[in-house]
Structure 1
């Protein structure tokens, strides 16, 4: 990203003001996507403030579930220390694919041709006379 882009465009990543605001805060860790998690200061309820600096575009669906729990104070310590290791049947978290060619489109969706199965016998259309 260009220098001017990093100064003025928050939607492409953290701005310089954000990085300046990290002075005196504690880096808590990074996830598999390269997002960096920070903690420092207190909110009005006395809880520690926690936030994420995204690696790339600001998209909340790119925060893995374990770090989402940490950000929202569901676990006290970072996920590496407080959560059990992942089970072999668990899948990796996937980013939100809405708006991309990989988005889920059920049969009958306009993007899939707009044709859906005919209504079955359990459907009866409502009419105001009946």
Structure 2
């Protein structure tokens, strides 16, 4: 499905126009999610242009923090060489789960049954007569 649908969709990976635009650019790395990063040319300010080609849906929250800093010119060199190694206590980054079955739903949400805790005595509803 990917190769047939790819020329017509922008939300499921790179389009054929993007692939043509990446000709002559340098592939610089790949993250744990399979996203591929490119660099080449320069923008109007003379900074090098940088791209990410997502592995799967185009969701910017799926970019690892170290590659985010590289994409936005917060670090000059590649993350593997310029940033310290991840600590044991650090959790791996998670993409934005809003709209998925894994999204956070507090008690009282319709998806969790719609029953919330009863209001405490310190709440008094507004009435126009009060």
- Taking structure 2 as the reference length, the TM-score comes to 0.90
CA positional deviation for 1:51 = 1.2
Alpha-carbon distance in 2 for matches of 1:84, 1:8? 40
Alpha-carbon distance in structure 2 between the residues aligned to 1:127 and 1:47: 59
Root-mean-square deviation (CA, aligned residues, Å) is 1.5
Equivalent pairs counted in the alignment come to 130
Partner of 2:85: 85
Give 1:36 deviation, angstroms. 0.3
Paired position in structure 2 for 1:114: 114
- How far apart in 2 are the matches of 1:27 and 1:13? 16
- In structure 2, the partner of 1:96 is 96
Task: Give the match for residue 22 of structure 2.
Answer: 22
- How far is the alpha carbon of 1:128 from its aligned partner? 3.5
Q: CA deviation at 1:70?
A: 1.1
3-state SS in 1 of match to 2:97: coil
Q: 1:66 maps to which residue? A: 66
Q: 1:74 to 1:122 in 2, by over 3 A?
A: farther
Structure 1 SS opposite 2:11? helix
Q: Kindly state the Cα deviation for residue 67 of structure 1 after the two structures are TM-superposed.
A: 0.8
**Runs of 5+ in structure 2 lacking a partner?**
none
Unaligned runs of 5+ in 1: none
Matched with 1:38 is: 38
The offset of 1:69, in angstroms, is: 1.2
| TM-score, normalising length: structure 1 | 0.90
Greater shift, 32-41 or 92-101, is seen at 92-101
- Post-superposition Cα deviations, 1:18-54, rounded to whole Å, max 9, x if no partner, equal 1111111111110001100011122222221111001
